[in-house]
Structure 1
Amino acid sequence: MTCDKSTPRAPWRNFYGRRHGKALRRRQKEYLDEDLAALAPGPVDWDANPERQPLDLAARFGRREVWLEIGFGGGEHMVHQAALHPEVGIIGCEPFINGVAMLLGKIREAGVENVAVHPGDVRDLFDVLPDASIARAFLLYPDPWPKKKHHRRRFVTPEFLGPLARVMAPGAVLRVATDIPDYVRQTLIEVPRAGFDWLAETPRDWREPWDDWLSTRYERKALREGRVPHYLTFRRR
């Protein structure tokens, strides 16, 4: 058997987060089996799209502008935004399958239809998102990777921010929420380098949440443990 060297191959990428947690409940397995495939934004994985053709977002969302939530956790914020803004389409990306199952349950309960779900690494999604196709992106309480030797694993590094900048339209808004002071520091250094302007004019702009904010379970945990949330807003140049 010979190997066709002209066939594109998936890039090898380190992945450091968790993909599975505790055993899923029967109902959560049903959500994954019954709902997930229909909510795909398009052919993202290499087997379905080896040529890495850009996603047809108009086929999925029509003429809506498209937002992206990177690492939606349990999905409460994503579903809240989808219900609050039916005029947009929202793609959620999350590799932790337990979180995906939680989101699918919330989607059923809320009855929102303007959503798509990629249950995997956001870098795979970046490979197939068209240039300047995202009007707003959310990075909410990302994994802080607190050890200094692990800071290169954070999202706010060139490996992630470069592709994010490519897929975001000029003038698009990026929201970052974190309770880790050193993550704030790195965000304020690296995100502007990637082509974004920080929009804060007064301390209120980063101390107070956005008007349409819904507190997540990660934020509530941070507050219980005495950590202070920061709300950072950037605009793509």
Structure 2
Amino acid sequence: MTSDPHPPMRSFGRIKSRPIKPRQAALMDSLLPQIRCPAEAFDPRRLKPDAEAVWLEIGFGGGEHMAAQAARTPGTLILGAEPFQNGVASALRHLDEQGLQNVRLHDGDVRDLMARLPDACLDRVFILFPDPWPKARHNKRRLVQAELIADLARLMKPGARLRFATDWADYADWTLERFAASPHFAWDAERADDWRKPPADHITTRYEEKGLGDCAPVFLDFVRR
């Protein structure tokens, strides 16, 4: 197989920072191979035939949100994608400590995973506090682009919901503009509290608590038409 001569621009920065702790490193060797998403095209429901729904979290960071959602909804299969190796190691610790069996991981670019999934296989998607690339010259590296939205439209069932959250005002506007341009998604907010207040099922992460952005968190929920 030849490599793509024009691969998509990377939407994330470094993939590793500090050394991974020994216990987490051991889980990278033992647990990750057991729950890693297949390297070829696959139907996620074959990974958990009794799954009531299939969710995808894009960029799960340290894994707190993903693990908490998995614990809340044991009948749901959650696919998580994250290229940052320290985050993957942290997520493995959460999954191991809580004994969660309904999560499968892709330790790389989510677009590679999405290309392997069949049409209309996802019931829900989370994109929470992605790298904002706040400088104008770097905006082209943002995850949310027309191409990603088109791919999500292919993968999400009619009526499936997508939650995007950011604490950068410009990224919220950017995302609204691009989803509004898609005929496949609707933003169903009716009042300011719908995007200013965390949704009832939201789980706050340590990253969110740091308040690194330039505004209070904004929560945008879109519905697949």
TM-score (norm 1): 0.89
Aligned-residue sequence identity (percent) comes to 45
2:172 to 164, 184, 199: 184
Aligned to 1:219: 208
Rg larger in 1 or in 2?
1
Q: What is the distance in 2 between the residues matched to 1:18 and 1:123?
A: 17
The 3-state SS of whatever aligns with 2:119 is coil
What whole-Å deviation, never above 9, does each CA across 1:24-64 have from its counterpart, x for those lacking one?
Answer: 11111101001001101222xxxxx3xxxx31212202142
Aligned to 1:95: 83
The 3-state SS of whatever aligns with 1:61 is coil
1:198 to 177, 187, 195: 187
The 3-state SS of whatever aligns with 1:138 is strand
Give matches, 1:118-197, under 5 Å. 118-194=106-182, 195-197=184-186
Q: What is the distance in 1 between the residues matched to 2:68 and 2:62?
A: 12
Q: What is the distance in 2 between the residues matched to 1:226 and 1:188?
A: 17
2:14 to 15, 18, 24: 18
What whole-Å deviation, never above 9, does each CA across 1:56-113 have from its counterpart, x for those lacking one?
Answer: 2122021421000000000000000000011110000000000000000000111111
* Alignment coverage as a number of residue pairs: 220
More moved, 151-160 vs 95-104: 151-160
Contact 1:42–1:56 (8 Å) recurs in 2:
no
Q: Which amino acid aligns with 1:17?
A: G
Give matches, 1:30-45, under 5 Å. 30-43=26-39
Contact 1:31–1:104 (8 Å) recurs in 2:
yes
2:104 to 99, 116, 119: 116
Runs of 4+ in structure 1 deviating by more than 4 angstroms, as ranges, are: none
Q: What is the distance in 2 between the residues matched to 1:10 and 1:125?
A: 16
In the alignment, structure 1 residue 210 sits paired with structure 2 residue 206: no
Aligned to 1:66: 54
Contact 2:79–2:103 (8 Å) recurs in 1:
yes
More moved, 170-179 vs 15-24: 15-24
Cα drift, residue 226 of structure 1: 7.1
Q: What is the distance in 1 between the residues matched to 2:147 and 2:43?
A: 24
Contact 1:69–1:137 (8 Å) recurs in 2:
yes
In the alignment, structure 1 residue 28 sits paired with structure 2 residue 3: no
The alignment's C-alpha RMSD in Å is 1.5
Q: What is the distance in 2 between the residues matched to 1:80 and 1:98?
A: 19
Cα drift, residue 206 of structure 1: 0.5
Aligned to 2:95: 107
Gaps of 5+ in 2: none
The 3-state SS of whatever aligns with 1:233 is strand
Aligned to 2:2: 9
